[in-house]
């Protein structure tokens, strides 16, 4: 099976590795030369990942039958629609289906309109004056979000990033003044609890779950600092997380199935990986966001564990014939991203980075290249996350230890890592937090 992949990050490297393992012949489109992806491909095209014309030409020239899109920007640009017109079957959503991610207002209104559980109070604004009036009238904490895409970095939460009415309005104005996200502002009720990611494979009708993952959005240890695309993530060997029950997870899956049904009813059938980010509250899981793709870093955790051939899964998602027997190893994983110094505020990029893949493998871990590039024969860091290192083992503790051992085999003089991710202390903090909320 010939498959085109779009994207040059850690998530896409993990997808390419899984496709390679399942015998696919891979043609990759990416904007940076990711050496992990390049190693596994028949041919690479370096170009803007939103350039539908170039991508379609590359697919046609190489007789590619299927495609998988990693990031959200090409989905929003309609690359899937263009490929499908050329007869390439896509294991990723069309522009219309990707609206579930590309417009946060569309998502909230869909969930509300179809009476789906797990919604949060929300209001959409086209100007700062209306948002100000609304803010003056509410008595609870809110979250400020640009409605459109911001690469996971546009959300600010009252009580965490915003500490007064003035600060909140300052950020609302900043979004309008700079047209951040390009589609207005949504103010949402703040949910309190523990976050988790439930991703599913979807073929337009059916969903098949992946293991639960917990991401770490804040840039610095102890969950402080600006929000990022995600600094690292873990999964547990039973595919749950230590603070969530099977019943609570089932509720999240029911919400995702209802969303998929609603999308089909609205004439926007959803195919591809769907990413549900939830806050587990004392009233059950609440939707934080729905993304039209795999999460990054979460894809690195789950695709490392995938036993079923990913090429087959992509074919079934694209053809609407997903079957229920997708299997994952019953192991724990801990992923920590090596990021450039300053990441989350202003990255210090362009530094040489070296990755000793075989030493990493000897530690019970795997490295996925992300926003790195080849310059004058050297591997250098870009402004986004550089390399994801995933420790794998029977228990979370061992997986974390493997990840830490492996991290020593990545060298760069301007990098940092959140070493607290997946540690017993941080995981216990999550469990204790949830226990406190439940007993209050």
Whole-angstrom Cα distance, residue 127 to residue 326? Answer: 46
Residue 101 near ligand GLY by CB under 6 A: no
Which pair of structure tokens corresponds to residue 165?
A: 């009415």
76 binds ligand GLY, rule: CB under 6 A: no
Cα 95 from Cα 182, distance rounded (Å): 16
> Rule CB under 6 A: is residue 123 a binding residue for ligand AMP?
no
432 in Cβ contact with 383 (< 8 Å): no
Residue 155 binds ligand AMP (CB under 6 A): yes
- Cα radius of gyration rounded to whole Å, the chain: 21
Q: Which of 359, 362, 339 is nearest to 351 (CA)?
A: 339
DSSP state of 190: P
Is 149 or 175 the residue whose CB approaches ligand GLY more closely? Answer: 149
| Binding residue (CB under 6 A) for ligand GLY from 36, 230, 340, 391 | 230
Residues 6+ apart with CB under 8 A from 377: none
Select from 78, 152, 226, 342 the one that contacts ligand GLY (CB under 6 A).
152
User: Rounded to an integer, what distance in angstroms lies between the CA atom of residue 236 and that of residue 396?
Assistant: 6
User: Judged by CB under 6 A, does residue 143 bind ligand AMP?
Assistant: yes
- In this structure, are residues 27 and 38 in contact, taking their beta carbons and an 8 Å threshold? no
Query: Which region, judged by CB under 6 A, interacts with ligand GLY, from 31-39, 168-176, 293-301, 358-366?
Result: 293-301
**With binding defined as CB under 6 A, does residue 291 bind ligand GLY?**
yes
195 binds ligand AMP (CB under 6 A): yes
Does residue 157 bind ligand AMP (CB under 6 A)? yes
State which of positions 284-323 bind ligand AMP (CB under 6 A). Answer: 288-289
Q: Note whether 120 binds ligand AMP by CB under 6 A.
A: yes
Binder to ligand GLY among 296, 373, 400, 420 (CB under 6 A)? Answer: 296
- The answer to the question of residue 295 lying near ligand GLY (CB under 6 A) is yes
Helix or strand run (H / E) with residue 109: helix 104-113
Q: Taking CB within 5 to 8 Å according to partner kind, which of ligand AMP, ligand GLY, none is near residue 295?
A: ligand GLY
Does an H or E element contain 381, and which?
A: strand 378-381
In the complex, the residues that contact ligand GLY under the rule CB under 6 A are: 152, 215, 229-230, 291, 295-296, 298
């Amino acid at each position: 099976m010939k498959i085109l992949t779009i994207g040059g990050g850690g998530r896409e490297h993990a997808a390419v590795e899984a496709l390679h393992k399942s015998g696919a012949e891979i043609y990759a489109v990416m904007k940076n030369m990711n050496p992990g992806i390049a190693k596994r491909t028949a041919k690479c095209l370096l170009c803007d990942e939103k350039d539908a014309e170039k991508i379609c030409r590359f697919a046609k020239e190489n007789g590619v039958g299927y495609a998988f899109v990693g990031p959200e920007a090409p989905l929003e640009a309609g690359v899937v629609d263009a490929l499908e017109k050329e007869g390439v079957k896509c294991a990723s959503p069309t522009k219309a289906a990707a609206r579930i991610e590309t417009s946060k207002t569309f998502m909230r209104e869909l969930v509300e309109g179809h009476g789906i559980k797990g919604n949060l109070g929300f209001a959409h604004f086209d100007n700062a004056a209306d948002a100000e009036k609304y803010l003056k009238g509410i008595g609870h904490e809110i979250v400020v979000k640009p409605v459109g895409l911001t690469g996971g970095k546009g959300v600010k939460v009252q009580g965490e990033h915003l500490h007064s009415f003035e600060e909140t309005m300052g950020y609302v104005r900043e979004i309008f003044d700079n047209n951040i996200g390009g589609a207005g502002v949504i103010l949402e009720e703040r949910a309190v609890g523990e976050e988790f990611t439930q991703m599913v494979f979807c073929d337009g009708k059916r969903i098949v779950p992946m293991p639960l993952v917990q991401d770490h959005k804040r840039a610095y240890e102890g969950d402080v600092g600006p929000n990022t695309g995600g600094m690292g993530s873990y999964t547990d060997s039973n595919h749950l997380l230590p603070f969530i029950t099977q019943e609570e997870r089932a509720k999240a899956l029911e919400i995702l199935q209802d969303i998929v049904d609603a999308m089909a009813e609205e004439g926007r059938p959803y195919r591809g990986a769907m990413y549900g980010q939830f806050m587990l509250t004392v009233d059950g899981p609440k939707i934080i966001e729905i993304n039209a793709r795999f999460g990054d870093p979460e894809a690195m955790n789950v695709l490392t564990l995938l036993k079923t051939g990913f090429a087959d899964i992509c074919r079934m998602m694209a053809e609407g014939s997903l079957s229920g027997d997708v299997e994952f190893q019953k192991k724990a994983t801990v992923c920590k991203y090596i990021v450039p110094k300053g990441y989350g505020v202003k990255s210090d990029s362009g530094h040489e980075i070296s990755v000793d893949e075989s030493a990493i493998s000897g530690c019970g871990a795997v490295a996925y290249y992300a926003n790195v590039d080849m310059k004058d024969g050297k591997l250098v860091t870009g402004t986004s996350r550089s390399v994801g290192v995933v420790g794998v083992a029977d228990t979370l503790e061992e997986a974390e230890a493997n990840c830490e051992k492996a991290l020593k085999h990545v060298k760069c003089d301007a990098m940092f890592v959140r070493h607290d991710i997946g540690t017993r202390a941080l995981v216990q903090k999550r469990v204790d937090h949830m226990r406190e909320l439940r007993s209050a």
